[in-house]
Amino acid sequence: MSKKIKQRYANFIKDTLINLYPDSSSGNLIKLLEAFYNTAAKSFIFGNGSDELISIILLSLKKDVVVNIPTPSFSMYDIIARYNDLKINYIKLDEKCFDLPKNAGINQSSANNIYFFSYPNNPTGNHFDSDIIKGLLENKNNIVVVDEAYIYFSNKESFIKYIPEYDNLIVLRTFSKIGLAGLRFGMLFSGGRLINEFNKIKLPFNVNSLTLSSIEFFLDNFSEFEKNIKKTVNQREKLYSALKKVGFICAYPSDANFILIRLKDNKIKTRFNRFLKDNKIIIRSFTGGMELFYRITVGTPAENKKLIDYLKGF
């Protein structure tokens, strides 16, 4: 954030009435978001990050609903479904390009299914085929969650526009990935039917006044983020081209703010881990059959250059 914006933010936030409970209906903010996302009011719920919204969705389900989770994908779908004792069906993604199998959802064993799609997918960086997702939405016994945490970095169309068409669709958004992770602000968009169910579970003051005010400010100054998003996308493409040239790495194309890589073999992995430690580089590693994979978050130009320079000397 520029110094100028930081100063204006500090000025704005100081007038927040922290002696009062937050406005649990968040009237002002809803109007701003309605205009910003071009969607109908009443179709929002806010969360303390979208993690909380995932938890609210899963808490509201009856125990006979099957939770369908692609693998690999964002781990919280699985973690929260498991601690709520829900039935889980893992959808194994295609090994080459990590897309959904064409028959995803066709052999449903239960009448009630919920699907979680990170769009683009974390950690693979690709979008699933939107026609497969739309096909699942056509079955009214399904609930489909399209989690657009990383969509700001992609040029694919959001599912928000389908909300009036499908009342079994939920779209999640967060401000975490564009530079406001500490504020903890997530949004859930859906038609009225599901929103009513979630409102029964949601705690009334789950998002604090400082966060609500901050989001008002940042929506008004969104161009600041747009500049940074463009820079990140630009850096991602540079990093991707450089990673592709590293012989022992297979880099996957990404529409998010990270790049998934796969090392050639276990021998390289041992050396690679030592290399990361020696150079004080922390990137995301995986278990559960993905031991050769790492997810690299796109950093600043200087950080990315450092990584590439280090890799050249590997």
Residues lying near ligand PLP in the complex (CB under 6 A)? 49-51, 74, 118, 122, 147, 149, 174, 176, 181, 186
Least distance in Å: CB of 125 to ligand PLP?
A: 11
Nearest residue to ligand PLP, scored by beta-carbon proximity: 49
Nearer to ligand PLP among residue 190 and residue 242 (C-beta): 190
With CA atoms as reference, report the closest residue to 114 among 68, 147, 59: 68
Nearer to ligand PLP among residue 185 and residue 240 (C-beta): 185
Least distance in Å: CB of 104 to ligand PLP?
A: 18
Tokens (6 digits) for 47: 């969360």
Least distance in Å: CB of 122 to ligand PLP?
A: 4
Least distance in Å: CB of 132 to ligand PLP?
A: 18
Nearer to ligand PLP among residue 188 and residue 243 (C-beta): 188
Nearer to ligand PLP among residue 54 and residue 61 (C-beta): 54
Least distance in Å: CB of 270 to ligand PLP?
A: 28
Core vs surface per residue 116-152: b (16+ CB within 10 A) or e: bbbbbbbbbbbbbeeebbebbbeeeebbbbbbbbbbb
Nearer to ligand PLP among residue 142 and residue 174 (C-beta): 174
